Structure 1
Amino acid sequence: MPWSVKWMPQALRDMEALEKNERERIVRKVEEAAATDPFRAFQRLRGCDEHRMRVGGNRAIALIAHSSKTIEIHRVGHRKHIYKRLFK
């Protein structure tokens, strides 16, 4: 059974700020991870429950719920800024 993906409102706002080709690339990578095993595509962040996915210079920050097989994308952005915004 594939995993379901839920985009949080802040992640959708973050995606609007990116260029179209970057948005498409991120969505494609997240969907590929959901179709297989997200724990292979996402790496756990130290000190918290979130995971990150690298897509070029951008990162997708997600909470992966194994019990409900859900990937919640919380933030998306350039690697230079995403962690500062995440841990404000």
Structure 2
Amino acid sequence: MLPLWTLFGDVKEEEVRLHEGAGSIQHLEQIFKHRSKELFSEDVGVLTYRTLRNKDFQEVTLERDGEVLLCFEAAYCLRNIQEWS
């Protein structure tokens, strides 16, 4: 079995890798920020969510000059996921 740090190429054993969390909302935020930078050269800081039908169904958008460039929705609870799809 290989030591964990050898799986990450040139990362040194003592380096610490940080992330914003492991929940689904943190994954959404990480992907949203990455795609905003990659596709539109926008550095996004704090995301502001808009509640749609209820607190378990939210949306975050990237806008420029009033035009929506990127839109992600987060749906929690099976009922919301079924209604969304």
TM > 0.5 fold call? no
Q: Identify, as 1 or 2, the structure richer in strand.
A: 1
Length-normalised TM-score, structure 2: 0.30
The structure, 1 or 2, with the larger RCO (C-alpha pairs under 8 Å, 6+ apart) is 1
Length-normalised TM-score, structure 1: 0.30
